[in-house]
Amino acid sequence: MLEWLLALDREVLLLVNRSLANPVFDALLPWFREKLFWAPLYIFLLAFIFEHFGKKAWWLVLGLVITVGLADFFSSELVKKNVRRLRPCNDITLAAELQPRVRCGSGYSFTSSHATNHFAVAVYLSFFLGRLHRRVRPALLLWAASIAYAQVYVGVHYPGDVLVGGLLGAWIGWIVARRVARLMGFNAARAVV
């Protein structure tokens, strides 16, 4: 069963990296991996939080920092360092078949920290911002999914890396959001993602 899943992971990676390649994605998706590319969005979200949540915004921001810290710790320190899966671009049996679009990096592949961190943020923020406008939830999840997809497209992660990373991040975001909501006195029943 494991061999079948690994083979499927490899085939989907090659499909996304090579068969679905196009000039627009080649130009755009490498940027999705860059922290500074998203800086205007992060600044907007912080301003939005402080404008709409008043003094409680500090709890929300503290929870966001904890969410990112936990997501990164779980992905980078606990999972990656114990699983030790090579990145596809560093796997000599696969690298020649990949279309490289960014520098490969030397870290491990499973789980994708980009996917874990961004899904944690998306679910956490959905919990609170979704109260103000329901369309925020799918937009945040689509944002996290686009970053996860970019990891596969550029060839630095397998699809399974981003899938499991996304699920791990979503779980962390949900758990922290529920704790922070309790501290803020929010009704968690109204904040279903």
Sign of the alpha-carbon dihedral angle for 32, 6, 71, 76: negative
Q: Give the integer Cα–Cα distance in Å for 24 and 2.
A: 35
Residues 168-192 have a mean pLDDT of 82
pLDDT(189) > 60: no
Of 155 and 188, which is predicted with more confidence? 155
CA distance 38 to 59: 23
* Structure tokens that stand for 149 in this block: 């997809």
pLDDT > 90: percent of the chain: 69
Q: What is the mean pLDDT of residues 52-62?
A: 92
**Distance between CA 49 and CA 130 in Å, rounded?**
12
pLDDT-derived band at 191 (thresholds 50, 70, 90) equals very low
Q: Would you kindly state where each structural domain of the chain is located, as residue ranges? A: 2-190
Query: Prior bond to 116 cis, omega within 30?
Result: no
Cα separation, 15 vs 98, whole angstroms:
10
CB 158 within 8 A of CB 68: no
Q: How confident is the model at residue 193 (pLDDT cuts 50, 70, 90)?
A: very low
- First-to-last CA distance in the chain? 32
pLDDT given for residue 187 in this prediction: 64
User: What one-letter code names the amino acid at 97?
Assistant: E
Sign of CA dihedral 179, 124, 57, 188: negative
For the chain, what is the mean pLDDT?
Answer: 90
**pLDDT for the residue numbered 115:** 96
Q: Please tell me the distance from the alpha carbon of residue 160 to that of residue 147, in angstroms, as a whole number.
A: 14
DSSP notation for 80-110: HHHH-PPPGGG-TTTGGGS---S---SS--S
Chain segment 86-125, per-residue pLDDT in tens: 999 888 888 888 888 988 888 898 999 999 999 999 999 9
Better-predicted residue by pLDDT, 146 or 185: 146
Query: 68 pLDDT exceeds 60?
Result: yes
CB 168 within 8 A of CB 111: yes
CATH 1.20.144 assigned to domain 2-190? The reply is yes
Instruction: Express each pLDDT in 12-50 by its tens digit.
Output: 999 999 988 899 999 999 999 888 999 999 999 999 999
DSSP letter assigned to residue 79: I
Q: At what angle do helices 39-53 and 57-72 cross, to 10 degrees?
A: 140
DSSP strands (E only) in 20-95: none
**How much is the average pLDDT of 168-190?**
86
- pLDDT the model gives residue 116: 97
What is the model's pLDDT at position 35? 83
- pTM, to two decimals: 0.90
